[in-house]
Amino acid sequence: MKQDLQVAFFGLGIMGTGMANRLLGAGFPLTVYNRNADKARALVSAGAKVAGSPREAASGADLIVSMVADDGASRAIWTGEHGALAGVKPGTTLVECSTLSPVWVRELAGLAAKAGCELLDAPVTGSKSHAAGGELNFLVGGNAAALERARPALSVMGRTATHIGPTGSGALLKLINNFLCGAQLASLAEAMALIERGGLDAGRAMEALTNGAPGSPLVKIIAARAASGDVTPNFPLRLMAKDLKYAAEEAARNGLPLETAVTALGVLNRALQAGRGDEDMWVIVDECRKAKRDRPITAS
C-alpha cells in the first residue's frame, strides 16, 4: 500500500532495523542513514534509498525517525554541517525514539523549533522481537497535533503511541521504566548467586520465584535467557547501564537521590568491567555468580 509520508530513518541497530523494515513493508517511501552503511544493504534491496549523511536523508522527508544509542549519537545525527537539522525542510515532524536524557531532548526540541520543525520524544518499550513484529509501545512527549501527524508511521511500528505530556515527558518515563527494569535485573542476578551459594536446586528455586510474586515479565525473560546461555543481544548490557546513569542524573537534577539506581549500576558495572557490555543484559547474572562464587565464606 503506497503511503504519502516520505520518511527518513536514522540508526539501523538491533531495534532500528526492525522498525525500518516495518515502515518499508507498509509502503512508506523510505530513506535510511546509518554510520555503518553495510547495515542498510538488506533494506536497499527491499526498496529503501540510502543516504550519505543525515542532512541528505532529511532533505526530502516529511517525517524523520531516529533510533540511536545515546545522547552523543543523537547529537551527531541531528546537529552539525552534515546533521539532519541542516537539511530539514520547515514543517517536518521529527521523532526521536532513542532512550536519551531529558536535558538533551529539550535542547534538541529547541533546535528543531529554530528550523521550523516539531520534535516528538517517543522512546519505546519492547525488545528486538517487538520491533520486528510491529509491537512496540511509544511513550510520547511533545505536541499532540504532531503526534497525530506521526501516528500513521508509528502505528505500523508499534501497538500503542501514548501521549505522556510535554516535551521531555516520554524521555523521562522511559528512563523510569528502564530504571525499574535495571533494578530488577541487578536484584535477580544477586538472587541467583545466593541460590547457588546457598546450595539450593537452581531449577526448583527459579520455578518458585518466576511463578510467584517476584515473577515479573522481565524476571521470567532474564531467567529463561540465563538458563539458555544465549548471550546474543536483545538489549546490550551497556545500554541498560547507560539508562540507569541517565535516570540517576535526571533524578539528581530534580533533587532526588535515586539510590537503588546507583546500587544497580554498581552491580552492572562488574560485567562492563569484564568486557561484556555488548552482550545481552542477562550476562550480569553470570558475572554476579562468579563474584559470589569467588568470595570466601567468613564466619559471623
Active site residues: 174
Alpha-carbon distance of 209 to 200, in angstroms, equals: 13
C-beta of residue 81 within 8 angstroms of C-beta of residue 143: no
C-beta of residue 98 within 8 angstroms of C-beta of residue 69: yes
Alpha-carbon distance of 32 to 92, in angstroms, equals: 16
Which residue in the block uniquely carries the three cell numbers 526540541? 109
Q: What is the DSSP string of 36-75?
A: SGGGGHHHHHTT-EE-SSHHHHHTT-SEEEE--SSHHHHH
Alpha-carbon distance of 256 to 38, in angstroms, equals: 43
Length of the chain: 300
C-beta of residue 183 within 8 angstroms of C-beta of residue 258: no
C-beta of residue 98 within 8 angstroms of C-beta of residue 68: yes
Alpha-carbon distance of 291 to 287, in angstroms, equals: 6
- Beta-carbon contacts of residue 60 (< 8 Å; ≥ 6 apart): 6, 8, 31
